């Protein structure tokens, strides 16, 4: 059974703080993703990675960076948190390659920036 875990379920930070969101998957998946989910906007892709040390911008990368030093771990970094980054953050992974389909999601981190 695939397991994707995220470091925190709930997080409260102050404007200007540096925030790290960690995601770990235990199924040796190549591809990992960070989304944010907001009411009325659905899931929007922030960044994704298809290999160690590789990263690609998604649809809304501004204000975020990522790190993938090991295959199982994909970190999302908010360099200087702002109130408009208050959201639900979801990490996902998929094995990669033609014919793959199911993305497995972590439980999400609900981040509030004050």
Chain residues in the site for other proteins (CB under 8 A): 31, 33, 35, 40-43, 45, 48, 50, 56, 58, 90, 94-98, 100-103, 105-108
Q: Which is nearer to other proteins, 15 or 41 (CB)?
A: 41
Question: How far is Cα 81 from Cα 33, in angstroms, rounded to an integer?
Answer: 20
- Nearest approach in angstroms of CB 65 to other proteins is 19
Please check whether residue 70 is in contact with residue 53, taking contact to mean a CB–CB distance below 8 angstroms. no
- Report d(CA 80, CA 14) in Å as an integer: 9
Rounded to a whole number of angstroms, the minimum distance from the CB of residue 100 to other proteins is 6
């Amino acid at each position: 059974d695939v397991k994707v875990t995220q470091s925190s379920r709930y997080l409260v930070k102050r404007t200007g703080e540096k925030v790290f969101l960690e995601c770990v998957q235990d199924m040796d998946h190549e591809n990992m993703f960070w989304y944010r989910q907001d009411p009325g906007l659905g899931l929007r892709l922030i960044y994704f990675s298809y290999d160690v040390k590789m990263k690609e911008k998604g649809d809304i990368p501004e204000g975020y960076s990522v790190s993938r030093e090991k295959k199982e771990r994909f970190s999302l970094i908010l360099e200087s948190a702002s109130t408009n980054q208050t959201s639900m953050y979801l990490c996902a992974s998929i094995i990669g390659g033609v014919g793959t389909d199911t993305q497995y999601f972590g439980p999400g981190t609900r981040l509030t920036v004050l």
